[in-house]
Amino acid sequence: MIMLKPQDVLVMLKLVALGQKPWSYARLAVDLGMSPSQLHSAVQRALAAQIAVKREEAIRPHIRNLEEFLIHGLRYVFVPQLGQPTRGMPTSHAAPPLVQHFAPTNELPPVWPDPDGTVRGVEFSPLYKLAPQAARADPALYELLVLVDAIRGGRAREHNMAVKELAKRLAQYG
């Protein structure tokens, strides 16, 4: 039985962010802060779960299957933990590309805990512990992770907006 791990989804989102650019295990491992063996295992699980596909010698996200999993399964498998107020990096409806669609409120925004963060908000556990660091270095990956977080833990309006925006971005991939 294959069980996806959060880092498998992070790897697939990174590949979506890269677009059709070629990649190597060594380079992707550095970009994501993972070891090459962790990355290789993540790719193998993604292939087995059919959210990735091997075409010729290239491994790419299987966009239709990945989209289905992200929209309909992710929030039941990788449920976010909400915590105490903390300093961090905004996510979900509090970060681009969703922040522009929602009026500011008096509620603390969801944030990934980060001592270098610039926003005070409510702790929202990242999909994978290394996601904030990888997102900081790649704005396209950050936006995909923000959308995934709104799907994982957003209210209905935030969730629906994130689904539309994610579908648009995944359609641009292939």
Supply the CATH classification number for the domain 6-75. Answer: 1.10.10.10
Sign of CA dihedral 103, 170, 13, 42: positive
Is the pLDDT confidence value at 174 over 80? no
Per the structure block, which two tokens stand in for 164?
A: 């539309």
pLDDT in tens, 12-63: 999 999 999 999 999 999 999 999 999 999 999 999 999 999 988 899 999 9
pLDDT in tens, 134-159: 999 999 999 999 999 999 999 999 99
**Residues 162, 101: contact at Cβ < 8 Å?**
no
Average pLDDT, the chain: 95
> Nearest-CA neighbor of 38 among 47, 28, 51?
28
Q: Indicate the domain borders of the chain.
A: 6-75, 80-173
**Residue 23, helix vs strand vs coil:** coil
pLDDT of amino acid 78:
96
pLDDT of amino acid 104:
82
Is the pLDDT confidence value at 4 over 90? yes
> Nearest-CA neighbor of 138 among 3, 10, 41?
10
Tracing tokens 């907006």 back to the chain, one arrives at: 161
